[in-house]
Structure 1
């Protein structure tokens, strides 16, 4: 009986934390690690090489703007096979010189 109540409470806490993270605009390193699935060590490596957008207002703590982070994560989009096929057809149709 207590286990069921405990599990419900944990589920509710997890739900609240997820909602909180979704509504935040500035994230710390732990939150970015949770969001991206990257380890903190890897994130520190990316920040030290300036490979990821970040902020250091007092030279120590690292913060990330969620919007910039999402844009960064969505860089270098890979086209689907359907998109590539459509592009190839379009190129072929528009680039073949007319023999007339």
Structure 2
């Protein structure tokens, strides 16, 4: 018997369980399965292969991947530049 879930239900299930397989991780991240596998293979995205077959991802690792490349606003850039100039005279 096959049970179909909406993407929102899959994300909720992943959050409750604490880990995701490749297909679930691709839904969670909004990326293709192929690209998620590639990120895991290149070790850009932390993963686990318990028996050397299936790939699993911790939710914390998926969230860290999504939030990994923080962009700061112009105000903070100006503040950092002023602080750098002031400290390096």
> What is the TM-score with the length of structure 2 in the denominator?
0.76
Return the alpha-carbon distance in structure 1 between the equivalents of residues 7 and 56 of structure 2: 23
Decide which moves more: 19-28 or 29-38.
Answer: 19-28
Residue of structure 2 equivalent to 1:78: 71
Residue from 40, 43, 51 that aligns with 2:36: 43
Gaps of 5+ in 2: none
Q: Does 2:26 correspond to 1:33?
A: yes
> What is the TM-score with the length of structure 1 in the denominator?
0.69
Q: Structure 1 pair 58/83, CA: closer, same or farther in 2 (3 Å)?
A: same
How many corresponding residue pairs?
84
Gaps of 5+ in 1: 1-12
Question: RMSD across aligned C-alpha pairs, in angstroms?
Answer: 2.2
Specify which structure has the bigger relative contact order, considering alpha-carbon pairs within 8 angstroms and separated by 6 or more residues: 2
CA contact (8 A) 2:14 2:59 kept: no
- Structure richer in helix, relative to its length: 1
